[in-house]
Structure 1
Amino acid sequence: MARELFDQSLEARALLTQANDILGFSLTDIMFSGSEEDLRRTDVTQPAIFVHSVAQFVARPELRPVMTAGHSLGEFSALVAAGVLRFEDALLLVARRAQAMQAACEEQPGAMAAILGLDDATVERICQAITTAGDVVVAANYNCPGQLVISGSTEGVTKACEALKAAGAKRALPLPVGGAFHSPLMQSAAAALAEAIEKTTFGEARCPVYQNADAQPHSSAAEIKANLLRQLTAPVRWTQSVQHMAADGATEFVECGPGKVLQGLVKKIVPAATIG
């Protein structure tokens, strides 16, 4: 993970080395040669993905974004790319976020599932009915048309999957996660992260950042902080974010990170988009 970046880009190498110093352990050793079990550790996974994403961005100095967005954790690297957060501050927030989310999972275990082939309104309606009846389940990730992730209590997600399949969903796939991310069950994590966010300096954005919580462009430090905090308990509105970016003039999208999942989602949301 990120080994090629380390070997080929001086900028990426400097950033990866800096990450080790900030965290107080060798993240790069785990990224380059750690086991899958090591990479799944809470204190490793989120920092590793974040660092890889920013390293890929700095390794391409020709990139001059006119707007940015990130999916869930990716919002932190989007904020670095937009000049809102310094790399070191963002990394410390990501590490704190990971710890807070793990603690919330242990406090209130939950589940998530991907729902394929059903419209958003139907998913929302069924989740609301189950929540009203006493179990927590909400729409958590609007990934692209026909692909929505739900999140909540284990019982709530199980009931929702059954009801959504009965309503016509092509598939309802439980996800291998340990908690109900982007749901009300992350409230304790949001409270823990709030203190760290308040102590961190946020600058004005060099370009608009389309944030997960409302899918709208933001440049104000105060608005960005508030939305970043909401992100833990609110849905990731990725579909709407990409739609709004395209409506505001975006024609080329560049993904910086360890995979290419977002490229596929963008093409499903805006088929005419160019992937750089």
Structure 2
Amino acid sequence: PAAVVGHSQGEIAAAVVAGGLSLDDGARVVALRSRAIAGELAGKGGMVAVSLPVDAVRELLPENVSVAVVNGPGAVVVAGPVEELDALIARCEEREVRARKVPVDYASHSAYVELIEAQVLADLAELGPVTSPVPMYSSVSGERIDTSTLDAGYWYRNLRQTVEFEQATRALAADGFTAFVEVSPHPVLTMAVQDTLGEDTVATGTLRRNEGGMDRFLLSAAELFVRGVPVRWDGLFAGRVSGRVSLPTYAFQRRRFWPEPSLVAGDVAAAGLVSAEHPLLGAVVAVPGSGTVVLTSRLSLRAQPWLRDHAVHGTVLFPGTGFVELAVRGADAVGAG
């Protein structure tokens, strides 16, 4: 890859792929740190995802709940005691804010992690990180990092501090990176990337839930390819019969058979109606036995293109004077002054 960025524990994989950690060291961080979590943190606290900007989330937080993850402008995860997280969810429901529990039984990226600081530092003291040939952007600092600093202290901070994924994403974009591939069994961050950088940013996953085969993987590669990302297809077709497929020998011809609506009003008299003789109205119909008169027409930008001149914030509105004109013509039809 041109660069890598990881998310929380995903930073371990990113560091190995970049070349900053050996595969053995990466496995050591995963196994020993997870063992410390299972031994000391399991059953203590929880996490909740809230669909609001981080500043708005902070205004809702109970005393012992803190921001754990900032994925994008409207994707934040908080951590803390279960009882206070339940109170936060209730508060969000009152304000019609989407909030849901994350299926974990400990409060990652919160003060709870301080319980295992000494153990993590001791277990990972022998790591040998090096400067990687591939740039790595840290979701701890939110910026590019020298991977030779990925020692035991870094992997403790990676678990304790807020995941600044949005900040790291913006740093990548500022350095000219425009295509993001989330390598995972199911994409959970691609929407956050697009919310942060805009819909024009290329962001795709690799696999999806219940779609873990090569077909899904190649479809993801094709999604990148059609968005302008170079894909080396030669590896896929190696050893297979391949070549260019001939197109038909004739030019592609198209004929439309759908009728086009007429812009000119038809002869309403032929349908037993009386013409309204008005630029905004088509016909006048007297309802038998009721004294009611109905005036009908269709108003559209095709038939009355000048209506386009009356728009508010890009939305065309029928002008108030037009309604007055229709009322006056209706009054005329029933003899009212």
Q: TM-score range by the shorter chain?
A: 0.5 to 0.7
Pair 1:96 & 2:61 matched = no
TM-score, reference length from structure 2: 0.56
Post-superposition offset of 1:224:
6.2
Q: Is contact 2:4–2:136 with CA below 8 Å preserved after alignment?
A: yes
Instruction: State the partner residue of 2:136.
Output: 209
* AA aligned opposite 2:6: G
Q: Quick one: which amino acid aligns to residue 252 of structure 1?
A: A
Q: Which whole-Å deviations, capped at 9, do the CAs of 1:41-83 have from their partners, x for residues lacking one?
A: xxxxxxxxxxxxxxxxxxxxxxxx2321111111001001111
Sort the Cα spacing of 1:177 and 1:142 in 2 relative to 1 into closer, same or farther, 3 A. same
Partners of 2:99 and 2:182 lie apart in 1 by: 27
Q: For the Cα contact (< 8 Å) 1:83–1:206, is it kept in 2? A: yes
Mapped contact 1:84–1:203 kept (Cα < 8 A): yes
Q: Does 1:67 align with 2:3?
A: yes
1:113 is matched with: 48
Q: 1:124 to 1:214 in 2, by over 3 A?
A: farther
Structure 2 partner of 1:265: 192
CA distance in 1, matches of 2:38, 2:150: 26
Which structure has the bigger radius of gyration? 2
Percent identity over the alignment is 27
- Which residue of the partner structure matches residue 85 of structure 1? 21
The 8 Å contact of residues 123 and 164 in structure 1, kept in 2 or not, is answered as no
1:178, 1:119 → 2: CA distance? Answer: 25
1:86-165 correspondence to structure 2 within 5 Å: 86-106=22-42, 109-116=44-51, 118-127=52-61, 130-131=62-63, 136-165=64-93
Q: Which ranges in structure 1 are unaligned for 5 or more consecutive residues? A: 1-64
Aligned pairs, how many?
203
Question: What's 1:240 paired with?
Answer: 167
What is the RMSD computed on CA atoms of the aligned residues? Answer: 2.0
Structure 1 Cα separation of the partners of residues 65 and 162 of structure 2: 12
Q: Extract unaligned runs of 5+ from structure 2.
A: 204-223, 225-337
| Regions of 4+ moved over 6 Å | none
Q: Measure, in 2, the Cα distance between the counterparts of 1:125 and 1:227.
A: 29
Q: Which structure carries more relative contact order (alpha carbon 8 Å, separation 6+)? A: 1
* Secondary structure of 1:231 counterpart: helix
Distance 2:164 2:177 in 1: 17
Shift of 1:206: 1.7
In structure 2, what is the equivalent of residue 193 of structure 1?
120
TM-score (norm 1): 0.68
Structure 1 residues 232, 183: CA separation in 2 closer, same or farther (over 3 Å shift)?
same
8 A contact 1:104–1:189 mirrored in 2: yes
CA contact 1:206–1:219 (8 Å) conserved in 2: no
Normalized per residue, the structure richer in strand is: 2
The answer to whether the 8 A contact 2:3-2:136 is kept is: yes
